[in-house]
């Protein structure tokens, strides 16, 4: 209990968001499968049907436990510290911007694909992840099963390159377009609310790697 309280202290929004994602997704996966099917973001015919709410609600449901677990872990790893650094109002705004940007990008890019549907918090969490990298540029990320940490900015570049390649090659069932849109939204958000932060993050990373004043 003490560990839980320490983790969530100073991060009420991250706590509530993570709880909502876990509870809603778990209910959809275990008790109410119709919850998932009804809240999918289906770009084709979105305007005709008028189910604009799925631009938001699709971010609180997940395809399976692995999908949910990965997103929940990533959010836990980066969201709580970022909220404490930014403050709750800015963190909530960042999450909303990331979610809406990634959903809007999905809706536009896949509007002519009748069978396409998207779900999950990946786009919003990508915004959180990349904003966190701007705020903490010298941080490292552990990615299992690798036994060593990876500098966060290097991970960011590799992540974007892979997402662009995967999106163009239509690899797997993952919505890579949402990842890209969310990541860019996170960086641009920090550039707007904290001018110069992106440049300082890049400089701080290179100083940490190559030394210098």
User: Are the C-beta atoms of 77 and 58 separated by less than 8 Å?
Assistant: no
Which 3-state string (H, E, C) describes the chain? CHHHHHHHCCCHHHHHHHHHHHHHHHHHHHCCHHHHHHHCECCCCHHHHCCCCHHHHHHHCCCCHHHHHHHHHHHHHHHHHHHHHHCHHHHHHHHHHHHHHHHHHHHHHCCCCCCCCECCCHHHHHHHHHHHHHHCCCCEECCCCCCCCEEHHHHHHHHHHHHHHHHHHCCCCCCHHHHHHHHHHHHHHHHHHCCCHHHHHHHHHHHHHHCCC
pLDDT tens-place values along the chain, 213 residues long:
555 566 678 999 999 999 999 999 999 999 999 999 999 999 999 999 999 999 999 999 998 998 899 899 889 989 999 999 999 999 999 999 999 999 999 999 999 999 999 999 999 999 999 999 999 988 887 776 778 888 877 877 787 787 778 777 765 567 888 999 999 999 999 999 999 999 998 887 777 766 654
What is the CATH T-level fold of the domain 2-210, as seen in this structure?
A: Rhomboid-like fold (1.20.1540)
Give the per-residue pLDDT at 170: 62
Give the per-residue pLDDT at 109: 93
Give the per-residue pLDDT at 211: 62
Give me the residue spans of the domains in the chain. 2-210
CA distance 185 to 34: 31
Give the per-residue pLDDT at 132: 94
């Amino acid at each position: 209990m003490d560990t839980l309280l320490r983790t969530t202290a100073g991060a009420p929004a991250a706590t509530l968001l993570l709880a909502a994602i876990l509870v809603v997704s778990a209910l959809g996966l275990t008790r109410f499968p119709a919850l998932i099917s009804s809240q999918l973001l289906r770009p084709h015919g979105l305007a005709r049907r008028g189910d604009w709410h799925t631009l938001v609600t699709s971010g609180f449901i997940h395809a399976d436990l692995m999908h949910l677990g990965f997103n929940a872990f990533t959010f836990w790893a980066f969201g709580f510290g970022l909220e404490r650094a930014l403050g709750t109002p800015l963190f909530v705004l960042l999450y909303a911007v990331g979610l809406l940007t990634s959903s809007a990008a999905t809706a536009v890019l896949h509007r002519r694909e009748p069978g396409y549907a998207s779900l999950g918090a990946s786009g919003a969490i990508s915004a959180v992840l990349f904003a966190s990298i701007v705020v903490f540029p010298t941080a490292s990320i552990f990615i299992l099963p690798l036994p060593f940490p990876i500098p966060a900015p290097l991970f960011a570049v590799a992540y974007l390159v892979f997402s662009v390649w995967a999106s163009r090659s239509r690899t797997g069932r993952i919505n890579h377009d949402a990842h890209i849109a969310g990541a860019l939204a996170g960086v641009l958000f920090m550039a707007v609310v904290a001018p110069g932060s992106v440049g300082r993050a890049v400089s701080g990373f290179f100083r940490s790697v190559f030394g210098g004043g």
